[in-house]
Amino acid sequence: MKIATYNVNGINGHLSVLLKWLEESAPDIVCLQELKAPQDNFPHEAISSAGYNAVWNGQKQWNGVAILAKGMEIQEVGRILPGDPEDMQSRYLEALVGGIVVACIYLPNGNPAPGPKLDYKMRWMERLSARAKVLLEHKVPVAIAGDFNAIPTELDVYKPEKYKEDALFCIEVREAFRSLVNQGWTDSIRSLYPDETIYTFWDYFRSAYSRNAGMRIDHFLLSPELAGRLQSGGVDKDVRGWEKTSDHAPVWIQIA
């Protein structure tokens, strides 16, 4: 079973790229982030015609996450990350699909840092850690997948020294990410490729993609029950080079 995560940066604006990638890559389960579409403007007919069921948590203008599945029922578990009834941003969607609990996340960016946006990000990471701990205790196959907006280590960004103060790489975000993983999760791509430089995002600016000035911020965290089934994984880097494309590339893993 192939599971993918892809920050589409506007599902309607980049729909043709998404559909082309779905056809070429043929993932069984897909987590999407940054739909940038209100709930009633999700392109469900196009997604359905491509062969995918879908559940989505949309929002006007910003954010928005979705889970797609090919030929499988998607049983929604929830669309609220517990811990803050004031949080109205559509950044979380949890579903049971193919015998796996899939949590699709779009973690807040946090910039400019320091400031209220970083504060919100840190609180969101605390809430995610709390939910992740509960999911681990269930001792079932779980994948937390999505745009974490977190660069785990210096190996994961083209110029670490430039990002020391950035909300994606500052020490408190790195420590929060490491603390989350240390609950017992497996960072899939890093576990498959312990020493390689692998990026999932390249800025639109400054020819970042052609310079390979990227960062690894889209991740798959697997519970022990699922990590043992991890066979392979990678980044569909070429998709980032397509016309009218997202600034992220799709990331995928193959599960036995």
Partner DNA sequence: ATGCCGTGGAAACCACGA
In this structure, which long-range contacts are made by residues 148-151, counting pairs with CB atoms below 8 Å and at least 24 apart in sequence? 148/105, 148/107, 148/177, 148/217, 148/218, 148/219, 149/107, 149/108, 149/109, 149/110, 149/121, 149/217, 150/107, 150/174, 150/176, 150/177, 150/217, 150/219, 151/215, 151/216, 151/217
Q: Does 57 bind DNA (CB under 7 A)?
A: no
Does position 123 interact with DNA (CB under 7 A)? The reply is no
Minimum CB separation of residue 184 from DNA in Å reads 27
Interface with DNA includes 131 (CB under 7 A)? no
Q: Which of 6, 27, 31, 36 binds DNA (CB under 7 A)?
A: 36
Asked if 228 interacts with DNA (CB under 7 A), we say no
- Classify the C-alpha dihedral 61-54-79-104 as positive or negative: negative
Q: Does 171 bind DNA (CB under 7 A)?
A: no
Query: What is the crossing angle of helices 171-181 and 116-137, to 10°?
Result: 10
**Does 95 sit near DNA (CB under 7 A)?**
no
Cβ proximity to DNA: between 61 and 210 the closer is 61
Judged by CB under 7 A, does residue 254 bind DNA? no
Nearer to DNA, 223 or 245 (CB): 245
What amino acid positions are annotated as catalytic residues? 106, 147
Sole window of 24-32, 189-197, 198-206, 228-236 interacting with DNA (rule: CB under 7 A)? 198-206
Interaction between residue 109 and DNA (CB under 7 A)? yes
CA end-to-end distance (rounded Å), the chain: 6
Q: How far is the CB of 47 from DNA (least distance, A)?
A: 14
Residues 6+ apart with CB under 8 A from 103: 92, 93, 94, 131, 132, 135, 142, 143, 144, 145, 146
Contact call for residue 147 and DNA (CB under 7 A): yes
**In the complex, which residues of this chain contact DNA (CB under 7 A)?**
7, 9-14, 34, 36-38, 41, 60-62, 108-109, 111-112, 117, 147, 149, 166-168, 201, 203-206, 215, 217, 244, 247-248
